[in-house]
Amino acid sequence: MNTRKPFFFDSTLRDGNQALKKPWNLKEKEFIFDLLLKLGVQAVEVGFPGSCDMDFETCQKLASLANDKTVVCGLARAVERDINLAYDAIKNAKKPRIHTFIALAPFNMKYVLQKEPDDVKKLAIDAVKHAKSLIGENGDVQFSVEHFGDCIDNMPFVIDTLKEVVEAGATTINLPNTVERTNPMNFVKRVSQVVQELPENIIIAVHCHNDLGMATATTVESYFAGATQLEGCLNGLGERAGNMNIYEVAVALHNCGVDVPLNLKEIYETALTIAEKSGVPIYEKAPLIGLDSLAHRSGIHQDGAIKTKDMEKGAYRPIHPSLIGRDDEKVGFTSQSGKTAIYEIIKTAGYPITMEEAIRITPAIKEAAEKVGELPTRYITDIYFKEVFKIKGPFELIKFSKITDGKFRVEFKHNNKKYNVVGEDNGPLSACLNALSKAGFPQKLIHYEQVAIDGEIKGVSADAMTGLKREVPTGHVVTCRGLHTSTAQANILALFNGLNLIEGLK
């Protein structure tokens, strides 16, 4: 178990940038550097100063802008020229770091470097010595074993080299999974071996690429095996399938109870900005930041998610969306969805609904969803208005009018038979009930409410929505609603919707 706080080393401006179709210029890198500071990463690898003049100048500029908390790092191959340029580029940072690297994997030494292991070891040690001689009091030196993931058969050589590299002055040893080829534990076991073998004051870092989609898992487990510095890129940018995605590791560690030194609330906004600036879109299903990653479509999931939506943990989601600055957890209605979703969607749209009504209108909405797929909210509310406010049946209101105070006329049809009845009582609703009773249709009203709704609903002013609860002959209670510009008319429409509704339930 690692008792040290994780230290996030961001390589978006170096490993991420080098894989972009159009690498960033100075202005763009400055903008992203600012985002990184806001997110609160502990180290920023600003570039590879030896790669081109633009990168050199950019690194120089960013180094001059850095605060005194953030390490600013320049990459250099294990050659003097690169190390000198890296030093010149970052020396004005408050906390400068030279990061030098060479491959120690047998395959790479033989076929890419085309050198004997002992010669490679010497290059590593000389590079670190040279970097150390330049960096000064406030800075430090990081050494990376490029292709550490492939150092399966020569770990004694790797450990031996690292001990000498540490002697030469490196204080951070980075173990990259330069190409992810096998299982996370294969890598993590060797990270653990390095942790055991090197002095305790040496920081062990991991830098995992995501070729098989396991960079997050490998990084998280490496942390628990003793690696403290966790290297990755925003949005998982980087060569091929990218680098470890910093957000995923940060949230995974947070969920494990680790104190993560990042402003997690900045994550979502940062991710959207990086997608825009890099031209690399976030795929819909991307963990945490994908548009669809907080959507629930199956009825069972919707039910759980809705019941726990205000809880920090919550059913069927890894985090409360607000942890990363999101507020768009979504319930989408498809043929796979259920009544809880209808209830939630209508309520969120601002309309009154009871669970009994949601159950009642679910079949009609499901039928539409079977044809269309996921239904836009507007489509669902259209069905809601049709099913709730225009209930078809044997009763048809023709006209409701006032004769005098306390006296009202109700003209209606029942199974095409016309009725014209006068009802008497204080208000229009009770007068109408009286008229219906005289006509042989007594009604029991147990609840009345006027629902205020802001704005307009389908061209009808909102303050005229009536909700009534009616007892059905079977004993249970139904809600019926009416909608009209006049409150009195809305009441009567609610009553007639209720009559048809009860008929339909018989």
User: What token pair was written down for 191?
Assistant: 């990270």
With CB under 6 A as the contact rule, the residue among 29, 91, 190, 207 that binds ligand KIV is 207
x/- letters, 97..136, toward ligand KIV (CB under 6 A):
----x-----------------------------------
Asked if residue 9 binds ligand KIV (CB under 6 A), the reply is no
CB of 82 to Zn ion, least distance (A): 16
Question: Judged by CB, which is closer to Zn ion: 209, or 366?
Answer: 209
Which segments of 264-360 are extended strands (E)?
A: 295-296, 330-331
Asked if residue 51 binds ligand KIV (CB under 6 A), the reply is no
Q: Are 103 and 109 spatial neighbours (Cβ–Cβ below 8 Å)?
A: yes
Q: How far apart are CA 62 and CA 27, in angstroms?
A: 10
- For 408, counting Cβ atoms within 10 Å of its Cβ (0-12 exposed, 13-18 middle, 19+ buried), the class is buried
CB of 7 to ligand KIV, least distance (A): 16
The per-residue b/e assignment along 159-191, b for 16 or more CB within 10 angstroms, e otherwise, is bebbeebbebbbbbbbbbbbbbeeebeebbebb
CB of 150 to ligand KIV, least distance (A): 10
Q: Give the Cβ contact number of residue 1 at 10 Å.
A: 6
Asked if residue 15 binds ligand KIV (CB under 6 A), the reply is yes
- Give the closest residue to 217 by CA, choosing from 204, 232, 202: 232
Question: Judged by CB, which is closer to ligand KIV: 170, or 391?
Answer: 170
CB of 154 to Zn ion, least distance (A): 20
Q: Which range touches ligand KIV (CB under 6 A), out of 107-115, 171-179, 191-199, 335-343?
A: 171-179
Q: Which range touches ligand KIV (CB under 6 A), out of 172-180, 244-252, 288-296, 424-432?
A: 172-180
Q: Are 235 and 278 spatial neighbours (Cβ–Cβ below 8 Å)?
A: yes
Asked if residue 146 binds ligand KIV (CB under 6 A), the reply is yes
- Report the partner that residue 144 touches, choosing among ligand KIV, Zn ion, none (CB closer than 5 to 8 A by kind): ligand KIV
Q: Name, in order, each residue with C-beta under 8 angstroms of 200's C-beta and a sequence gap of 6 or more.
A: none
Q: Give the Cβ contact number of residue 213 at 10 Å.
A: 11
DSSP class of residue 12? I
Pure H helices in 325-465:
339-348, 355-372, 377-389, 428-438
Q: Are 158 and 109 spatial neighbours (Cβ–Cβ below 8 Å)?
A: no
With CB under 6 A as the contact rule, the residue among 12, 60, 144, 491 that binds ligand KIV is 144
Sheet holding 395-404, edge to edge: 395-404, 407-414, 417-424
Asked if residue 176 binds ligand KIV (CB under 6 A), the reply is yes
Q: Which range touches Zn ion (CB under 5 A), out of 13-21, 94-102, 317-325, 457-465?
A: 13-21
With CB under 5 A as the contact rule, the residue among 6, 14, 15, 135 that binds Zn ion is 15
Question: Judged by CB, which is closer to ligand KIV: 15, or 357?
Answer: 15
With CB under 6 A as the contact rule, the residue among 58, 178, 434, 491 that binds ligand KIV is 178
Query: Which spans of this chain sit near Zn ion (rule: CB under 5 A)?
Result: 15
Query: Which spans of this chain sit near ligand KIV (rule: CB under 6 A)?
Result: 15, 101, 144, 146, 174, 176, 178, 207, 209
